[in-house]
Structure 1
């Protein structure tokens, strides 16, 4: 009987699940749904998602996979959107019985599932409440990575200052994918890999420890910090059957979606990976003996993300990727609604791509940094070189797609790739796979061949991680 690794990716706008056959190392089944979880917050510049809706979508995705294969899952890997934070309550006691923290389990007939209980909204990586003035009041981290708005620790500092009563309701915090792992394993606390901890800020990747003393001195609620574990280890075992997945199935500690996407794409150290999903990243592997600088440089467009086994990736991580195209679609859709013309966003997106494919090039210039960048938060989007001949939807869409590539190559110039010995670019990510114009512009942006693989994404990547490391995984449960 075939055995499978279940890979789960909880993305910013969608959830994808895959089944990876252990013997052939191929994806036999996959399913994806949009979460539609964004909510309107009372706070200016807030970006929050409904945790209940996210988990509802996750359950729908898992339930769509063949139950006979789910019953033969031998391992679960989970990845998800980094930097964000969700809070939940610790284990409670009712009538002398312990209730699992953060969720309720229900269902029957091999279709048990969990739903959030006593949890907050997810405050995502896109949250903009921590402006430059607020960040300047925070203590300097003992880390090679700067702190930025949307980072978990920065968000907690914001709540400390402006809504301390909110934090008093919770005892546990983690990323949304850390939360899923905790619920699957029935953990009273949260374990977090260095990949996710580094994305929160105030984490030293050299020592694999939080900046406890710095945070304590600032009055930070350090009891909310998860226990740090190595990237690639197991967090525990499923506490009960889940949609057919047997109880006591090992579950990996949650990994960063970016690192998992790279893992699914980069097969050789002479390759760089261009990932464009909601945001965009360009990355290559640093030498195995590389050590990042001791002091962060908040003005640098290149960061060094922890990968596996003490290695690092050089990363240009842009806040502006597929979300720029989504904003263009939303803008046009809003205009059409004002004109009382109805068209779905998906249909409009497809029409824009067709129009742009009819325009080989355009001299219209679009700077797509509508969300700013972490190294330059005050940057704004711009449109220039406008004349009557380039105002078509095809020219606009082409210019937006090229602008996304121009921005990422300005953050990490292709010369850096050549000097690092990179010989080819691997393309991945939902926006890149969906958008033929983005792929064309990617191929024009680099003096290196750009290749696209099959099923290269975070859900596949996290499944491959826990497939490849089966014999060397360290257990912490």
Structure 2
């Protein structure tokens, strides 16, 4: 009896795998392992690459830790992963990673495409801008700087696309709009690549993946995999962000707030929403393809828990200079305790020390400073409030209200461990907030497969 769905998320730093019991929608087993796959940039081009072989080895070890007696009852496999990045491979003999030929993974963090290079690229027919770290931009960079490299490969996709292709033995990559939109030069309204624009630019079109719908099957496993039977349906790979939202977005009237390293606030747009015809680089809100023809409105801030971590690092450094030693964890707990004793503050902190995508040169600021509000409690309370106010400047409460949002579902490690942040969510957005259901991409992709692929679909569907 096919009882379970296997959900896998290939993250930037770790891999997570879960077994989800579809009927109860409960996770009955879970494993997470760090990949430790980063490769140092030895060429000084701001490259961010990872060792693909190490990622795949970690994936195998992670899956192998799941209970073998339950793996034989897996009826579906869903895979999500880090968006934007690109991996090249050769499909001449299928996609078996134990003997396949593949490149390093160039991740979404890659910085080799500077502003001058990006400005030289053709304008996309898309509502989303193209940035460094996007798959198509990276391929354009190789065309200019290392064209011989591209000749050694026949297929390109994200790391999650590669895993799906390998499991199913596909001779080409099938990519959903969630990942294609994150590559650039993809029109989500027509669900097509900008073929004419790319052709005129001399782009190697054979590297473009085929198109599959989000939530559909890519194929079936060729062989047994850690106890999962051959012939098990595998969903086309999905984006980690969309799957994280799916794991905790239970109603159209919910917004999902995630604060971990960075911060994101998103909600589902109405079914009839159409995105703009062209990129809006100055807009703080982007529209990501979700499922069907729907979209998520997303305010993605670069400044979240990392701003608090930088603050704690600064205090730790000051204390060391004064001859006082205290661990970051202990200091974090103490500054939060101070802020809990300080219910409000007139001090104002703008925490944009890393800039924002729509304002890359923004800096942080501290204003309204007086002799009465420079205590540790005041400063920490103001910083926490500033993180939420920065998000609110990107997606104002009035916009949420107009969209019909009645509740915020909060998730992420920073929110989970910081009561001050949770207090400020209510004050800044003035809507009820609930916590305890963490956004989880591995759980989300498993839920997608449970919800969107029925038994009849499993029996007959394979994306062409």
Same fold (TM over 0.5): yes
Q: Secondary structure at the match of 1:16?
A: strand
CA distance in 2, matches of 1:228, 1:331: 47
CA distance in 2, matches of 1:284, 1:84: 24
Retained in 2: the 8 A contact 1:102–1:119? no
Cross-structure match for 2:89: 88
Cross-structure match for 2:61: 60
In the alignment, structure 1 residue 475 sits paired with structure 2 residue 462: yes
Cross-structure match for 2:97: 103
Distance of aligned partners of 1:313 and 1:366 in 2 relative to their CA distance in 1, 3 Å threshold? same
Match of 2:400 among 400, 405, 417: 417
Retained in 1: the 8 A contact 2:76–2:232? yes
What is the CA distance between 1:412 and its match in structure 2?
A: 0.9
CA distance in 2, matches of 1:155, 1:295: 21
Retained in 2: the 8 A contact 1:2–1:22? no
CA deviation profile, 1:309-344 (whole Å, cap 9, x unmatched)? 111122212233344445556667778899999887
Retained in 1: the 8 A contact 2:215–2:291? yes
Distance of aligned partners of 1:172 and 1:367 in 2 relative to their CA distance in 1, 3 Å threshold? farther
What is the CA distance between 1:438 and its match in structure 2?
A: 3.2
CA distance in 2, matches of 1:337, 1:184: 51
Distance of aligned partners of 1:101 and 1:335 in 2 relative to their CA distance in 1, 3 Å threshold? farther
CA deviation profile, 1:224-275 (whole Å, cap 9, x unmatched)? 2111110111111122222222222111111111111221222111111112
Compare 163-172 and 328-337 and name the one that shifted more: 328-337
Retained in 1: the 8 A contact 2:2–2:75? no
Cross-structure match for 1:156: 139
Cross-structure match for 2:5: 5
Superposed, 1:31-430 pairs within 5 Å as: 31-41=31-41, 42-91=43-92, 98=93, 100-101=94-95, 103-104=97-98, 117-327=100-310, 353=336, 356-357=339-340, 359-363=342-346, 365-384=348-367, 398-430=381-413
Q: TM-score if structure 2 supplies the norm length?
A: 0.88
CA distance in 2, matches of 1:239, 1:327: 47
Retained in 2: the 8 A contact 1:90–1:102? no
Distance of aligned partners of 1:380 and 1:217 in 2 relative to their CA distance in 1, 3 Å threshold? farther
Retained in 1: the 8 A contact 2:345–2:381? yes
Distance of aligned partners of 1:104 and 1:417 in 2 relative to their CA distance in 1, 3 Å threshold? same
Retained in 1: the 8 A contact 2:96–2:167? no
Retained in 1: the 8 A contact 2:285–2:394? yes
Compare 304-313 and 192-201 and name the one that shifted more: 304-313
Distance of aligned partners of 1:2 and 1:28 in 2 relative to their CA distance in 1, 3 Å threshold? farther
Q: Secondary structure at the match of 1:443?
A: helix
Q: Secondary structure at the match of 1:160?
A: helix
CA distance in 1, matches of 2:310, 2:96: 34
Q: Secondary structure at the match of 1:76?
A: strand
Q: Secondary structure at the match of 1:199?
A: coil
CA distance in 1, matches of 2:307, 2:52: 24
Distance of aligned partners of 1:345 and 1:436 in 2 relative to their CA distance in 1, 3 Å threshold? same
CA distance in 2, matches of 1:72, 1:63: 15
What is the CA distance between 1:384 and its match in structure 2?
A: 5.0
CA deviation profile, 1:333-359 (whole Å, cap 9, x unmatched)? 778899999887666666665565555
Distance of aligned partners of 1:366 and 1:476 in 2 relative to their CA distance in 1, 3 Å threshold? same
Distance of aligned partners of 1:222 and 1:429 in 2 relative to their CA distance in 1, 3 Å threshold? farther
Retained in 1: the 8 A contact 2:216–2:453? no
Superposed, 1:432-471 pairs within 5 Å as: 432-471=415-454
CA deviation profile, 1:370-407 (whole Å, cap 9, x unmatched)? 44322222223445556777667666654444333222
CA deviation profile, 1:147-181 (whole Å, cap 9, x unmatched)? 12222112222222233333333322211211221
What is the CA distance between 1:133 and its match in structure 2?
A: 2.5
Q: TM-score if structure 1 supplies the norm length?
A: 0.86
Q: CA RMSD in A?
A: 2.9
CA distance in 1, matches of 2:239, 2:90: 23
Q: Secondary structure at the match of 1:265?
A: coil
Cross-structure match for 1:23: 23
Distance of aligned partners of 1:426 and 1:246 in 2 relative to their CA distance in 1, 3 Å threshold? same
CA deviation profile, 1:109-157 (whole Å, cap 9, x unmatched)? xxxxxxxx53333222222332332222111111111112222112222
